[in-house]
Amino acid sequence: MIKAYLDTNIFLIFLEEEISNSELVIEAVNEGLFIPVVSFHTFKEVMHNLKSRYSKDTASWMRTLIWTIQGLYIVSKDEIDAVGDTYHELVDDEDDLPHVNAYFASNSNYFVTTNRRLTQMKIKKKVNFMSPKNFLTELGLEVLDKKDGI
């Protein structure tokens, strides 16, 4: 079965938008169409972001929602460390690197993100980046017509 690395922005958009393709991606997991992958970084970024804008409780509910996604695979720090500096030269923003490394460490087939800057970096030749909308299309599911495929 295909594996899809879900970037942090997928979960942030899910909460921010009334309805979004990001939300449909999370829903699609329940249909067993792909194995969802995140990393320990995803949890830390979601908590950092939501605690600063909402409350500790909201951040915790989101963490619980992610943690209980059916069949979720979580890439650990050790797995990210093991990839080393292999892709460093191809990623302009070093803070994006742990996510790129998590994608490779988990042998994911897709990297689902709305981070357009990341998808334009040299790494795009090696990573199969997809917007939530394009990923849903790839799965043969209906999509919403939203700006940037979010």
Partner 1 sequence: MPSKVSHVRLPEAEYKFIDEVIENGYFTSRTDFIKSAVRLQIHETSKRILADLKKKRKKKISYAELLKLAKKSRKSVYKEIWS
Q: Which residues have CB under 8 Å from 60's CB, separation 6+?
A: none
Closest to partner 1 by CB, 61 or 109: 61
Query: 70 near 87, Cβ under 8 Å?
Result: no
Q: Which of 33, 69, 143, 144 binds partner 1 (CB under 8 A)?
A: 69
Does position 56 interact with partner 1 (CB under 8 A)? The reply is: no
Stretch that binds partner 1, among 13-21, 84-92, 127-135, 136-144 (CB under 8 A): 13-21
* Residue 112: its H or E element: strand 110-112
Does position 18 interact with partner 1 (CB under 8 A)? The reply is: yes
Does position 25 interact with partner 1 (CB under 8 A)? The reply is: no
CA proximity to 101, closest of 72, 130, 126, 66: 126
Does position 28 interact with partner 1 (CB under 8 A)? The reply is: no
129-150 burial, b if ≥16 CB within 10 A, otherwise e?
A: bbbbbebbebbeeebbebeebb
Q: Which of 4, 5, 21, 98 binds partner 1 (CB under 8 A)?
A: 98
In angstroms, rounded to a whole number, what is the distance separating the alpha carbons of residues 126 and 25? 23
Q: Which of 5, 45, 110, 111 binds partner 1 (CB under 8 A)?
A: 45
Bridge partner residues of 4 (DSSP): 36, 110
Contact positions vs partner 1 (CB under 8 A): 8-9, 12-18, 41, 44-45, 48-49, 52-54, 58, 61-62, 64-65, 68-70, 77, 94-96, 98, 114-115, 147-148, 150
